[in-house]
Structure 1
């Protein structure tokens, strides 16, 4: 049994686990023998997380971004988790506001609506008006949530250490997953980080070649009144995307009417292109674009809200994912296998033939299908599941990438059922590859390449001269690594050792027999018996060693 800072919290968790019948975790929590890990059914796991409270709901939300760890049935069930909780009374929120503000509350705001417009496990949001008349959204941290989070983080870390002792836990790095979750949760308690993410996304979306930046809005941060526990953002006057309604009269554009269907198509294309830029150009993307975080404003613009969960992609990952996109479109199983291995974190040996066969079997379902009929996010989830089945560990940002694509494509299909992500991406692929090949500044890229070629041309003669010199003076050494050579060397060493022991045993037996035949004194008889005993012991050890090696082999 493990120790925690809160025995009552430990008791609550054990009661929830026992009540829902998760036998494997019950054995872990009570210090019993842990067999091969067995997850409860998806619905039961979701129920356990909900009963354990908001921190564990967020853990479930994180797990929903890891299709490389969990089957699709778990991903779908955990994706429905919402940390919707009753709001904290206004009196407690007002106390937090007065503690965080450097000025009296009445001097900063002319009015604050005491009724929360949204409430979550970490914070709740109120509408307010600044002294200069601008409407803002106040995201205020729930009182005492930091203490609750710290207690649950300790419990999660300990359970992760228990699971990490099993082969299953080491294969999927549960300890690393727990550390990733706790770091993300601790970052979420610091609203200045979310504010900086919001500012960065706002800057990135202010420039684009693929869409009109004036039609996409990211709230402005009011840094003068933002603290670790208080985030003040520009108020977005609108409704969630799926609640938006359109009429011909409302969609006039420079005197030209736009039909509701066409307006929906324009909005969806705007969102898809904005996220394609975030993913494949900027490398910094909104990782939770569900319909509640996308608002349609009264002035016809689209707003992206809640930048608490963001993902990052380095240039190498962006290039691999772009090629993966093309490989999926071309139904190229071999290329998918190669790109998956390039993405992999762990360098363990993988059966490439099996991986290619699995991808071929998976992609064969989409042969002879029209591109508009293919759900890209579903295909990419299947790609990650094939990697999981082949014990390939991928970076955690691949889960956030998949989640962002799935949420975006899901919201787009509900908002405009005729739209398809791959159809929208296809016209941009040429420009995307060109930008990855030449960069944003082709002249600068060309000059850099010219410098590299110049350096190569200057260094090559020296390198060739050095190589020839080493060959002629016989100082050249080759470092060659052959797969499984160490295993063969150990096998040869074992065989040589057993042969030596066999010769030694035979010599001892022959020596003992000669001495025994000509023994005329008790000393010689004793020596003969000792040699026989030594030969018997070594022979028995040799037989046992050979039998053990056979068991390992078969």
Structure 2
């Protein structure tokens, strides 16, 4: 941890300057209490002045601490059930109103990446940023043919700042796993995966590819629109995309003025989430309000707009099926089946008390299944499930964490958009349909139909394959017979060696006894004139015999 002292000192100073410790609940452990005490011992805590009471202090602190904390602020900004509304209103600015970097620097980056002066690529390039966030800022512009676009420009040095913070987090994760009994979560792998995810976000060429794929997945969709991406010379630092017209998902005043049906909008949002996760296995994993807009042209049937597709996720096929089955079991309140599915997937270790785990899951989760989203508080449920996982040494897959982060975003957006949203009733038919498409009779017939040409094509090779397999089995059997014979021979040799050792040690001990009879005062033995020669002979014969036997 010594190599992290400069960053730790900065964190200590910023937390003290803005007195962030006063926003936290009473810490549960001695180590946490010591950490809060250390913050208050910093001179900046006592010299905070107005910084200690300003409503924007959390936002300013997170901006000062860099992209990782800005991402945390974006996540917290969707959780009005966790923090004071005044703090959350300020955190919303982190979605797209972070302090921008100079426009001259942005223009220089664009010209360098495109390889031509701005005037040769754009009819107009606006100096005032449309938005600025943790990773990049966005300028509006017009192409030479008049089409309106947005130009996204990567912040200089942002990747290095992410690597610095993630190196610190990796060491913290290692200490937590080793000393705090946090092995239930593979924290080091989770941190490494998240570092890769964030660094992918600094590659705008990758974001452009993700956006194109998401646009293909939702082509002509009445639910979701993804802007068109324009050529930017495959740049990793510049991305050019179609400019869209819409309002942020948290612009409730506009929804009310236009008469937009917020219930329908919330239902569409949840449908989009499940469609991305299960139909496409390619989901937008950074769905804070700055990245989710709503078209206003047709208030009776509004459509979502997806922006900033830098962070996307996908699940291995087995985990995708497991999560769908677990969610469906949850909706049906079949907790025994839920735990059985998790055990079959390897999430629960062999020998764990499945009935006890099922009862604990039921106790934690069942009370919220009948409540609307505004009465559901995910925080204590997740804390209880994590404690359960730690107690029974459950293994949570790292890829599940990114999906969980996305679900927290979606649940927070749904809570704010339409508090009476019934997630479970909407999710049940979607999950049933997906599972039926994957493992139902039609899916089985489809796989057989798809595989039949390959099977037919392989029929001419079948006799040779059978012959080869039988030959291999015979050769394996012969090899196993030889191995078994060699093992039996080694057993016989080992048994003979042990007998030889026993006889040799017996002779050595007997000879030594005869030689030591006189010094030990055994008169009856020492009186015999043959005792010493006999002892010497026994020792010599035993040693020679054992050496020859080896």
Considering the TM-score relative to the shorter chain, is it more than 0.5?
A: yes
CA distance in 1, matches of 2:255, 2:174: 57
Question: Of the candidates 515, 518, 524, which is equivalent to residue 522 of structure 2?
Answer: 518
Aligned-partner Cα distance in 2 for 1:429–1:186: 32
The normalised TM-score by structure 1 is 0.65
1:258-294, CA deviations, whole angstroms, 9 ceiling, x for partnerless residues?
A: x64xx22222222222221111111111112233322
Deviation at 1:356, TM superposition (A): 3.5
C-alpha contact 1:226 1:232 (8 A) present in aligned 2? no
CA contact (8 A) 2:230 2:241 kept: yes
Seen in structure 2, the aligned counterparts of structure 1 residues 48 and 341 have a Cα distance that, compared at 3 Å, is farther
The alpha-carbon distance between structure 1 residues 130 and 403, as it changes in their structure 2 partners (threshold 3 A), is same
**Does residue 328 in structure 1 map to residue 327 in structure 2?**
no
Per-residue deviation, 1:61: 7.3
Aligned residue number for residue 69 of structure 2: 57
RMSD value over aligned CA atoms? 5.1
| Unmatched tracts of structure 1, length 5 or more | 23-35, 65-71, 208-212, 251-258, 478-496, 528-554
Contact 1:141 1:230 (8 Å CA) reproduced: yes
CA distance in 1, matches of 2:121, 2:326: 51
CA–CA distance in structure 2, aligned partners of residues 427 and 43 of structure 1? 48
The corresponding residue for 1:276 is: 274
Question: Which structure is larger by alpha-carbon Rg, 1 or 2?
Answer: 2
For the pair 1:302 / 2:312, whether they are aligned, the reply is no
Select 2:230's aligned residue among 222, 240, 244. Answer: 222
Paired with 1:216 and 1:417, the residues of 2 have a C-alpha distance of 21
After superposition, the Cα gap between the structure-2 partners of 1:230 and 1:217, relative to the gap in structure 1 and judged at 3 Å, is same
Q: Distance in 2 between matches of 1:171 and 1:241?
A: 36
Distance (whole Å) between structure 2 residues aligned to residue 157 and residue 249 of structure 1: 48
Q: Which moved more, 1:395-404 or 1:46-55?
A: 46-55
1:87-236, aligned counterparts within 5 Å?
A: 87-157=100-170, 160=173, 166=179, 168=181, 172-206=185-219, 213-224=221-232, 227-236=235-244
Give deviations 1:302-325, integer Å, cap 9, x for gaps. Answer: 201121221101221121111101
Aligned counterparts of 2:257 and 2:15: Cα–Cα separation in 1: 56
Aligned to 1:422: 424
Give the 3 Å change call, closer, same or farther, for CA 63–411 of structure 1 in structure 2: closer
* Deviation at residue 149 of structure 1 after TM alignment: 3.6
Distance in structure 2 (CA, Å) of the matches to 1:15 and 1:289: 31
Cα deviation per residue 1:473-522 (whole Å; 9 max; x = unaligned)? 99999xxxxxxxxxxxxxxxxxxx9xx99xx99x989x97994351559x
Structure 2: how far apart are the matches of 1:380 and 1:169? 15
Alignment TM-score, normalising by the size of structure 2: 0.66
Of 377, 391, 394, 2:393 maps to: 391
> Quick check: 1:337–1:359 contact (8 Å CA) kept in 2?
yes
Q: Where does the alignment leave 5 or more consecutive residues of structure 2 unmatched?
A: 21-28, 40-57, 482-497, 536-550
Per-residue deviation, residues 376-421 of structure 1 (Å, max 9, x unmatched):
9776786565334422222222112222222223212321223212
User: Any conservation in 1 of the 2:415–2:421 contact (CA below 8 Å)?
Assistant: yes
Q: CA deviation at 1:176?
A: 2.4
Alignment CA distance shift 1:103-1:3 (3 Å): same
Distance 1:167 1:244 in 2: 44
**Residue 352 (structure 2) aligns with:** 352
Match of 1:352, SS? coil
1:357-380 CA distances to partner (integer Å, 9 max, x unpaired)?
A: 133133146658874647597767
Residue of structure 2 in register with 1:293 after alignment: 291
Structure 1 residue 173: Cα displacement: 3.6
CA contact (8 A) 1:225 1:232 kept: no
Q: Contact 1:344 / 1:395 at 8 angstroms: preserved in 2?
A: no
The separation in 2 between residues aligned to 1:369 and 1:174, in whole angstroms, is 28
**Cα separation, 1, equivalents of 2:119 and 2:442:** 48
- 1:237 matched residue in structure 2: 245
Q: What SS does the corresponding residue of 2:250 show, helix, strand or coil?
A: helix
Q: 1:362 corresponds to which residue?
A: 361
**C-alpha contact 2:113 2:237 (8 A) present in aligned 1:** yes
**Pair 1:342–1:290, CA change in 2 (3 A):** farther
Cα offset, 1:121, TM superposition = 2.4
Any idea what SS the aligned residue of 2:333 has? coil
Go from structure 1 to structure 2 and tell me whether the alpha carbon gap of 1:414 and 1:144 turns closer, same or farther (over 3 Å shift): closer
Over 3 Å counting, the alpha-carbon distance change for 1:401 and 1:163 in structure 2 is closer
Q: 1:358 to 1:450 in 2, by over 3 A?
A: same
Relative distance call for 1:442 and 1:18 in structure 2 (3 A) is same
1:406 to 1:447, Cα distance in 2 relative to 1, 3 A: same
